[in-house]
Amino acid sequence: MKIDLVISLFDKDISWLKDITNKNVYPVIYRKGDIASHKQEVVIEPNVGRDVHTFFYHILHNYDKLADVTFFVQDYPFDHWGDLIEILNSETWEEKATLKNGGYYGFHNNTLGTAWSTPIQGWLDTNQHGSGKVLVCNNDGSPQDLVNNIDVNEYWSKYFTNNPPSVYEFMPGGHFGVTKEQVRLRPKEFYERIVQDLATIDNMPWIIERLECYIFSNLYDNN
């Protein structure tokens, strides 16, 4: 099984890659809005849409040649995914997902005691694997997001034909893994719309973060 590790790089040290010993994991590095420092880096300009834009950019431009599984992470992912290295080196990484739906795997773990480590209103008490928990939010992003003026239902209606959920489950930081089969449940044009919205609408990264597990679900029909 080939596993691509897509990294959205801006200004962090990614020397942690040397700790990945799983020979099936292949880093794919995207640098946002700067000159590549290594020949294997892909430069994305302009720097728009935060890390989420990078993730869906990769899906769009590699739709027909995706790895068996692709993981998507920030350049310093450990605030939200403290045991990333352990999971990537594990043969049973599927069992360690915090939120799992078919071939979609959401990860959240606060072993470093950093962001989101204190229980707050909006955590979903779940028996799924991982020491992290699933976050839930209302249509306006509350209680976690009170500053970005997001309307999740508006974009739910843009992407899906089904009625929206009463609350949205999501992974803080938006780190996830997904199989190529799960990605291809939706046509390439679906991801083109998402990439375009991420590049042009300021609050889209926070909206897509909350829609992520639904995008890669076969339970909801795309619009």
Q: Torsions phi, psi of 27, nearest 5? A: -65, 140
pLDDT of residue 116: 38
Question: Tens of pLDDT along 107-141?
Answer: 876 543 333 333 334 444 443 333 456 777 778 77
Yes or no: say if 55 and 72 are a contact pair by the CB < 8 Å rule: yes
pLDDT of residue 77: 81
pLDDT of residue 185: 94
The first and second tokens of residue 59, run together, are 């899906």
Contacts with 146 (C-beta within 8 Å, 6 or more apart), sequence order: none
pLDDT of residue 112: 37
Question: Tens of pLDDT along 185-202?
Answer: 999 999 999 999 999 998
Quote the pTM value.
Answer: 0.85
Residues of the chain with pLDDT under 50: 111-131
